[in-house]
A = this chain, B = another copy of it.
Amino acid sequence: MDEIASNEIVTDDDVISILIATDNHLGYMERDPLRSNDSFQTFEEILLYAKKYNVDMMLLGGDLFHDNKPSRKTLYNTIALLRQHCMGDKPCQLEFLSDQKRNFTSFFPIVNYEDPNLNISLPIFSIHGNHDDPSGDGNLCALDVLSASGLINYFGKSNQVDNIEISPILLKKGKTRLALYGLGNIRDERLYRTFLRKNVKMLRPKQNMDEWFNLFVLHQNRVSHNPKNYIPETFVNDFIDLILWGHEHECLIDLSKNEVKNFYITQPGSSVATSLCEGESKTKHIGILRIKQKQFEIEKIKLKSVRPFLMADICLQENLSNERDPTVITNYLIQKVEELEKKAIDDWKENNPDLSSKMNCPRPLIRLRVEYSGGYPTFNPHKFGQRFVNRIANPNDILHFYRKKAVAKLNSSTENDVSFLPEKLENTKIETLIDEFLQIKNLEILNEKELGSAVKTYIEKDEKDAIKE
């Protein structure tokens, strides 16, 4: 397989073009009055690029939905967007060669563009992520619902986690043959073990085996959080030409080569920031992957509708030396936030000359990580943010105070018993969740009548937020 420099492949009848994107997290922040539509707006931008670039198909790397059980509104909006942008008179030129019953586990094991009752112009193929993975009665996920309606081709659902056999979707256009391998998210530790035991088998077509371009899409940790909590790139079979890596939110869509395995990896990253960390503050892109026989390239496209997000690290000791007056510190931090706000707006205007004459820059997300080691006072980030309510999209969590980690101590404890660490972390997480859960059930602010009404709504309508509200 050969990667070639961008824009060298001229679209012709032998080129398969695929819009690649991942982690759209539809429904993220859906109850936030300002940000509720962010995930949908960018997903629609992506769907419009698919049309503009006249791609043969779209490939998603998981976490199309933020919630495992998307709200009715999110499901409704998603179905509406897909029906609006994926249907129409453009015929799909991809020949489907593999056994569809093996590729699709849905009630209708047929690729949507071959269903004579549906007029599909843009076939979307997707695996599930960790947010929208199958669960509960029937082991179904939200993508199964979209798949039943014919709007998505959901693949990569494995019946077993200890013994995985991936049968590729085989597509052909002109002289180009694409073998598409998909594996929806499995808990990293579990999949790590299955890989180690050589129990992840990738089937290959017998005919013209070496002529296929082999594309693998998965949704796992790529970065090592602890020794077994990720999937090392080298676990993947070396006959693979390109990996589309979902789950990691930082946009690293430019091809990176794994020199050991001699294959390439593209990590499109999320299309909406779901945490205020550095990776999410990078410019977000999707890609147009063009494959011509064994050659391929990715043209990256900057997403314009993404809400601006800037972050900065501030060390109080370095910047304020011995100044410990809360007012001075507050004013200093206000100034820093305003600098970032100005930069976010200026950057947006520069990057969107066409838009900036028509609309204001969307309120940016700003995060200041404030290191306060050395006896500096902290204050309530929520209260600090009130002055930015009409200017910043996340007034309640602009500031994140932290102290320098006791590095030496952590290292020694890690050395003592590495394998014990994740379990401890998990316990902590569950306790936090229980706390949150019990807080939701905290009834002190409700009078009896309100409680009655809330409980009624809770039970009758399955409104998980009824009591919270």
Which residues from chain A sit less than 8 Å from chain B, CB to CB? Answer: 30-31, 67-69, 71-73, 75-76, 79-80, 83-84, 87-88, 107-108, 116-119, 135-138, 140-142, 144-145, 148-151, 427, 429-431, 433-434, 436-437, 441, 451-453, 455-464
Report chain B residues within 8 Å CB of A137: 30-31, 71-73
A427 to B455, CA, bound (A): 12
Report the nearest B residue to A459, measured CB to CB.
B433
A84 to B118, CA, bound (A): 12
A75 to B451, CA, bound (A): 30
CB-contact partner of A76 in B68, B148, B458, under 8 A: B148
Report chain B residues within 8 Å CB of A31: 137
CB-contact partner of A463 in B80, B116, B136, B463, under 8 A: B136
Report chain B residues within 8 Å CB of A108: 80, 83-84
A69 to B203, CA, bound (A): 40
Report the nearest B residue to A466, measured CB to CB.
B136
Extra A-B contacts (6), CB below 8 Å, given A72-B138, A116-B119: A76-B140, A84-B107, A135-B457, A136-B461, A430-B452, A441-B441
Q: A83-B149, A118-B119 are in contact. Are A138 and B68 (CB under 8 A)?
A: no
Report chain B residues within 8 Å CB of A462: 67-69, 464
Query: Contact between A72 and B451 (Cβ–Cβ < 8 Å)?
Result: no
A150 to B107, CA, bound (A): 18
Report chain B residues within 8 Å CB of A72: 69, 136-138, 140-142, 144-145
Report chain B residues within 8 Å CB of A433: 452, 455-456, 459
Query: Contact between B149 and A79 (Cβ–Cβ < 8 Å)?
Result: yes
A142 to B76, CA, bound (A): 9
CB-contact partner of A151 in B30, B67, B149, B460, under 8 A: B149
A24 to B88, CA, bound (A): 33
Report chain B residues within 8 Å CB of A452: 427, 430-431, 433-434
A97 to B364, CA, bound (A): 48
Taking the closest CB of chain B, its distance from the CB of A5, in whole angstroms, is: 39
Taking the closest CB of chain B, its distance from the CB of A258, in whole angstroms, is: 32
Report the nearest B residue to A427, measured CB to CB.
B452
Cross-chain pairs A/B with CB under 8 angstroms, 28 sampled: A30-B137, A68-B460, A68-B462, A69-B463, A71-B136, A71-B137, A72-B136, A72-B140, A72-B141, A72-B145, A73-B136, A75-B145, A76-B140, A76-B145, A76-B148, A80-B107, A83-B108, A84-B107, A87-B118, A117-B118, A135-B463, A136-B463, A427-B452, A429-B456, A433-B455, A434-B451, A437-B455, A464-B464
Query: Contact between A461 and B148 (Cβ–Cβ < 8 Å)?
Result: no
Taking the closest CB of chain B, its distance from the CB of A75, in whole angstroms, is: 6
Closest 8 CB pairs of A and B: A430-B452, A117-B119, A87-B117, A80-B107, A69-B462, A79-B148, A149-B149, A68-B461
A400 to B436, CA, bound (A): 41
Report chain B residues within 8 Å CB of A464: 462, 464
Report chain B residues within 8 Å CB of A79: 145, 148-149
Taking the closest CB of chain B, its distance from the CB of A422, in whole angstroms, is: 15
Report the nearest B residue to A36, measured CB to CB.
B137
Report the nearest B residue to A464, measured CB to CB.
B462
A108 to B81, CA, bound (A): 11
Report chain B residues within 8 Å CB of A84: 107-108
Query: Contact between B76 and A107 (Cβ–Cβ < 8 Å)?
Result: yes
Report chain B residues within 8 Å CB of A431: 452
Report the nearest B residue to A462, measured CB to CB.
B69
A138 to B151, CA, bound (A): 22
Report chain B residues within 8 Å CB of A451: 434
A427 to B453, CA, bound (A): 10
Q: A73-B136, A116-B119, A119-B118 are in contact. Are A150 and B83 (CB under 8 A)?
A: yes
Report the nearest B residue to A437, measured CB to CB.
B455
Report chain B residues within 8 Å CB of A67: 462
Report chain B residues within 8 Å CB of A456: 429-430, 433
Report chain B residues within 8 Å CB of A463: 69, 135-136
A21 to B30, CA, bound (A): 36
A76 to B75, CA, bound (A): 12
Taking the closest CB of chain B, its distance from the CB of A377, in whole angstroms, is: 34
A429 to B88, CA, bound (A): 51
Report the nearest B residue to A434, measured CB to CB.
B455
